[in-house]
Chains A and B, each alone.
Chain A
Amino acid sequence: MSSPEVLALREQYGTADQQREISTIGMWIFLATEVMFFGGLFAGFAIYRMYYTQGFMEGSAEMEIVLGSVNTAVLITSSLTMALSVYKTSIGKQFHTYLLLLATAVLGLVFLGIKFTEYYLHYQHHKVPGIWFESTSPHSGAIELFFVYYFCMTGLHALHMIIGISVVVVFAIRTALGRFNALYHTPILILGLYWHFVDIVWVFLFGIFYISGLHR
């Protein structure tokens, strides 16, 4: 009677299945709030994009498309390793789970590394509003607004990544210590949901910031 799933079952739940189900629902509710959290920024961006089409296009042309595309691939790969680690833990291959979680964390760090490289390049090009911003374009005001949104949104996304990577590392360690098995691995399941959501946010950020002004 001392297997992890029994120990982990809290008294307000009847069965392990019920606990997993409610935890999953809880995570999805949290993701709904996250949709609205990023949604506020997306809505503001959409309105200003409609008004300052030209300036926002020019801002988008300042993006580092190669780094951005590579970063997207890196993040999608990390989502794959995350999805696989959830699969492996549910069929009881905990060592594989451990390796896949580590891979996820490493890919996450690579993503952040590339992201901060981009930030550095924007700084060198004097495109950081409030710190060092210069532009000779007739739409400099709109470009600055574009970059305000760019830094707010990718910055918040990066913050979510940092939190996600920390939790992935903790869960990798807990997996190595044998805390999870084929019957009880709800935390990894839920972490997976969070990780994929952060991936989805990036997919949209990539679309609106990098792609829409690419042809210029």
Chain B
Amino acid sequence: MNSLQLLPQSASTFASEYDPFFWCLVVVCGAVTLGIAVFVVYAVIRYRRRREDELPEQIEGNYKIEATWTVIPLIIFLGMFGWGAKTYFDVEAPPADSMKIYVVAKQWMWKLQHIDGQREINTLHVPVGRPVQLIMISQDVIHSFFVPAFRIKQDVLPGRYTTIWFKATQPGQYHLFCAEYCGTKHSGMIGWVYAMEPHEYERWLTEGAAEGSLASTGEKLFHQFGCANCHHFDGHGPCPDLRGLYGRPVVLQNGTTRVADDTYIRECILKKKPAPVAGFADFMPSFDGHLTEDQILALTTYIKSIGPQPGTGQPSSSGTAPKNYGTQRGIAGPGATSNAGTESDSR
């Protein structure tokens, strides 16, 4: 490998949006810096002191000139802000048809789970030309998912999901780094992202799918941890029927409403006493300490995969909530957010 690299690889749609902006800033800022440098050097040489007792002409200032070099930078800066905000929104908001991959970070490794069941450690295989959304959570401290060749970075927080997306354009092997300091082996928390042609990716998928899909792993856990003992799929169990739960608003006993998204489901599983759903007693024990973050993701995927309830499609167990009540909208915890109805793969 060459020991001198001067330009980063560029292998995602965002990278090709990013680089023109970056180099435009380099040119503008470089030109201004150079201009100042040339002026200063010129003035220092041209107006150098020639006699020890020299008294130069005194100029106090000039409001017009000063106002000019206040307003012009301001306009340029606002332009930079606008361009920056546009690119930021592009990289923050994933397209609706993104393929989802779950990421669990822990000291000092990356665990990646595909919906189809492939699990990887410190490597990630993705197809070229398809948007990939990462839903990420940390099991301990704050980490940060960073792929320089894609120009993406997002902190991975404990106790709360964060997300980032990319669409790889060039097949190849790219660095994956943890960019938020996370302890002793922070610099060892690295890996590779393999972007593959779609047909190769398909082959890779079939080769590695030994454990079954993520949802089937979740189903096993659902039985193994006794969830199925209470959560019956016939609407008559002691606990809410989970069919068609994902993505729907749930009315809680205290009258507030929550949308059943990843964050909500995770909370219900882990909380010592989750707020009970209207019409149900609070039987739910806490699985805090019994389940790892990847097992919770598998369970969530399983719950998502359970079909809707027969009939109206309105889950009787979770009640209907046509409107939000009062002031509690979307407020569930500093980390929580509501995913109101945008999930496309809840089918």
Task: Enumerate chain A interface residues (CB-CB to B < 8 A).
Answer: 47-48, 50-54, 137-141
Contacts and interface: CB of A to CB of B under 8 A. Distances in A.
Contacts of B273: 137-140
Contacts, number: 22
B256 to A, nearest CB: 9
B254 interface: yes
Contact of A138 (B274, B328, B333, B334): B274
Nearest to B254: A54
Interface in B234-287: 254, 271-276, 282
B275 A138 contact: yes
Interface in B273-310: 273-276, 282
Interface of B: 254, 271-276, 282, 328, 331-334
A52 B271 CA distance: 14
Contact of A141 (B254, B272, B282): B272
A140 B331 contact: no
Contact of B334 (A47, A53, A54, A140): A47
Contacts of A53: 328
A138 to B, nearest CB: 3
Given A50-B331, A54-B254, 16 more contacts: A47-B334, A48-B334, A51-B331, A51-B334, A52-B333, A53-B328, A138-B273, A138-B274, A138-B275, A138-B276, A138-B282, A139-B273, A140-B272, A140-B273, A141-B271, A141-B272
A51 B333 contact: yes
Q: Is the interface of B mostly helix, strand, loop or mixed?
A: loop
A123 B267 CA distance: 30
Contacts of B275: 138
11 contacts: A47-B334, A48-B334, A50-B331, A51-B332, A51-B333, A52-B333, A53-B328, A137-B273, A138-B275, A138-B282, A140-B272
A54 B328 CA distance: 11
A140 B272 CA distance: 8
A54 B271 CA distance: 15
A92 to B, nearest CB: 54
A76 to B, nearest CB: 33
A50 B275 CA distance: 17
Which of B328, B332, B333 has the largest number of chain A CB atoms within 10 A? B333
Contacts of B331: 50-51
Contacts of A137: 273
Closest 10 CB pairs of A and B: A138-B273, A51-B334, A51-B333, A51-B331, A140-B272, A138-B275, A138-B282, A54-B254, A140-B273, A50-B331
Contacts of B272: 138, 140-141
Contacts of B328: 53
A139 B276 CA distance: 12
Nearest to B332: A51
Contacts of A141: 271-272
Contacts of A140: 272-273
Contacts of B271: 141
A139 B274 CA distance: 8
A48 B333 CA distance: 8
Nearest to B282: A138
A78 B334 CA distance: 40
A20 B282 CA distance: 65
A101 to B, nearest CB: 46
Contacts of A48: 334
Contacts of B332: 51
B79 to A, nearest CB: 34
A17 to B, nearest CB: 37
A111 B328 CA distance: 38
